[in-house]
Amino acid sequence: MSRSGFCVLALLLSVVGARAEPPDPPREETPAAAAYKRLAADWEKRTKEYLATSRAAETEEEKKALKETFATDRKDCAARFLAIGEKYPKDAVAVDALSMAVRLGHGSPELDRALSTLTKEHVQDPKIAGLCMTLAFVKSSDAEKLLRAVLDKNPADGARGRACYALALRLQEQAQQQPRDDAEKAMKEAEALYEQVVKKYADVAEGRLGKLGDAAKAALFELRNLAVGKVAPDIEGEDVDGKKFKLSDYRGKVVVLDFWGHWCPDCRGTYPQARALVKRLEKKPFALLGVNSDTDREQLKKVLAKNKLTWRAWWDGGSTQGPIATTWHVYEWPTIYVLDHKGVIRHKGNEELAEKLEKWVDALLKERDEEAGRQ
């Protein structure tokens, strides 16, 4: 699954948002620390330049060219961070440099080399705690090996707690793409790891997640209530116009539930497909419903009108941490659930799911019709 375009919360260090903060400087700056500081400043400069020029770009062609240039810059900096970590493996700055190589190195050879070096040399360094949440989503089996090694060998509760939570989250994510038997095994281990977080590392804090104990309890709720095959919990709230409605109002229809925000580029990219799907199935027992995370309610009304987004959406309090998204443990935008006519969750995911969305909706509509024909 490609994650280059995900709109991810602050728990992930996104490509665009990743910042390299220099470590606390030693009394006498080492060559490694000096090289790291220069490269960190260079990466931050490139990031700011990209953000500024991207906002000013007027055409999709310009934005695409800028994105490609920035991807090249990212890989260049990943290689340079890796070089520092490999050249100075015993220096205090090595973990910082290798961690940045991981954050920036997806899709490049530097990624696995950085992960391998961290696993061999630095699993006991408490500073590796800052990388653990990123490892939950890194597309490499070496990322899982590193998390397991940190959980097993790191002496710091903060590092072990973060590794435990991140490993559980990683297994939970992987289960969505695995055969049934493998998925059940992964989900069972993820549940045990979340329970371990609640029991041993509840007070460890992790950025916007807050206390890991609370985050793990929310994740356990997801495993036990929001997994494929479970009946979706009801949603009750107001739409953009302040009118109340419930998810259960749509029982009997196949439902696509889309957690989205106009602030999210990938969400905006789904508009054409969503409009076409709603138009094609307008006479079918089908509903597309949204849970919106934009901050300005009045501005959102203008967005809906301008983009011809005619389906209903819950207003989730003007935040990515609104009550609905929090209950449903949503941390990536867009996140999509597909429910059958009985309200059972049949599929869930993000942009990979969108590629198969119409096929799955059509299959569930056919399933509904066949069941009705047997009655």
Residue 355's pLDDT is 74
Average of per-residue pLDDT values in the chain: 90
Confidence of residue 373 (pLDDT cuts 50, 70, 90): confident
Q: What is the pLDDT of residue 152?
A: 97
Confidence of residue 17 (pLDDT cuts 50, 70, 90): very low
More confident residue, 175 or 284: 284
Is the pLDDT at 1 greater than 50? The verdict is no
Q: State pLDDT tens for residues 257-315.
A: 999 999 999 999 999 999 999 999 999 999 999 999 999 999 999 999 999 999 999 99
Q: What is the mean pLDDT of residues 78-96?
A: 96
Task: Please write the tens of the pLDDT for every residue from 311-324.
Answer: 999 999 999 999 99
Task: Check residue 197 and give its pLDDT.
Answer: 97
Strands 254-260 and 244-246, bridge-based pairing: unpaired
Residue bearing tokens 């910082």: 96
Among 171, 166, 169, residue whose Cα is nearest residue 151: 166
Model confidence at 228, pLDDT cuts 50, 70, 90, reads confident
- Residue 3 pLDDT > 60: no
CA dist 130 and 159 (Å) reads 8
Q: What are phi and psi of 291, to 5 degrees?
A: -125, 110
How far apart are the C-alpha atoms of 128 and 358, rounded to whole Å? 42
Return the domain boundaries, the chain: 1-20+29-122, 125-225, 236-374
Q: Name the token pair of 216.
A: 């793990």
**Per-residue pLDDT tens for 323-360?**
999 889 888 899 999 999 999 999 888 766 667 899 99
- Average pLDDT, integer, range 214-222: 89
**pLDDT value at residue 20:** 55
Choice between 270 and 16, residue whose per-residue pLDDT is larger: 270
State yes or no: pLDDT of 65 exceeds 60: yes
Strand spans (E) along 119-253: 205-206, 210-211, 236-238, 244-246
Domain at 236-374: CATH code: 3.40.30.10
Residue 24 pLDDT class (50, 70, 90 cuts): low
Mean pLDDT lowest among 8-12, 28-32, 55-59, 79-83: 8-12
- pLDDT for 106 equals 87
Of 67-76, 216-225, 242-251, 276-285, the poorest mean pLDDT is in 216-225
Q: 140: exposed, middle or buried (C-beta count within 10 Å: 0-12, 13-18, 19+)?
A: middle
Residue with tokens 């606390």: 24
Counting Cβ atoms within 10 Å, is residue 263 exposed (0-12), middle (13-18) or buried (19+)? middle
Q: pLDDT-derived band of residue 25, with 50, 70 and 90 as boundaries? A: low
15-54 as b/e, with b when 16 or more CB fall inside 10 Å?
beebebebbeeeeeeeebbebbbebbeebeebbeebeeee
